[in-house]
Amino acid sequence: MYNTILVPHGGAPAEDEALKHAFYAARDSSRIIILHIVEALSHPPTFALSSSERTSLLKKIDEVNEETRQGMEKMMEKYAQQCKENNLKSKIQVVIGDASEIILDTVEKEKVDLIVMSKRRKLKGIKKLLSLGSVSRKIVENTSCPVLLIDAENK
């Protein structure tokens, strides 16, 4: 039923639970895309810096962002190995940017049939009933494929 399953994974136990659910939804011919999004360090105001100081600072920030991306890519390899152990094809993507935009772009480009993701927002009372986290909400509202939201705390 599902040929391509997208699992946005932040490296936390809640996302491990989402990956397990993706295993259950997958069949032998399915492919699981494990997507990690590195939220880029933002560039601080640099109006008080000289041109060379500004260039140097921005270069260092970009280097840190890339080092973080590469480190997470290595970490995501263990999840690809879990897919392999479950006889499933997988693909790892580690991208720097805005989570909801990248997830939605990936859904379109990769022709994703199902998104399995954990929800992160932990609200109490009526807000809990009415609200999803900003990324979860954007994905549910803007994608045409099914979305399975996993609440790892209430599994």
pLDDT digits (tens, 9 = 90+) for 24-81: 999 888 999 999 999 887 777 877 788 888 889 889 998 998 999 999 999 999 999 9
In terms of Cα–Cα distance, which of 52, 61, 63, 24 is closest to 155? 24
Alpha-helical runs (H) found in 10-147: 13-25, 51-85, 99-110, 125-130, 134-142
C-alpha–C-alpha distance, residues 126 and 115, integer Å: 26
Structure tokens at 132: 């999803």
Q: What is the mean pLDDT of the chain?
A: 87
Q: What is the model's pLDDT at position 49?
A: 81
Using the predicted structure, report yes or no on whether residue 112 has a pLDDT greater than 70: yes
Q: Rounded distance, CA 2 to CA 31, Å?
A: 9
Residue that is written with structure tokens 């069949």 in the block: 27
d(CA 5, CA 31): 6
Q: What is the pLDDT of residue 133?
A: 64
pLDDT score, position 121: 58
The answer to whether 22 and 5 have CB atoms below 8 angstroms apart is: yes
CA distances from 110 to 72, 97, 126 (A): 21, 18, 36
Q: Which amino acid is at 99?
A: A
Q: Where are the alpha helices (DSSP H) in 31-94?
A: 51-85
CA distance 101 to 48: 32
CA distance 72 to 97: 14
pLDDT given for residue 6 in this prediction? 97
Q: Are 119 and 149 in contact (CB under 8 A)?
A: yes
More confident residue, 12 or 76: 76
Residue type, 18: A
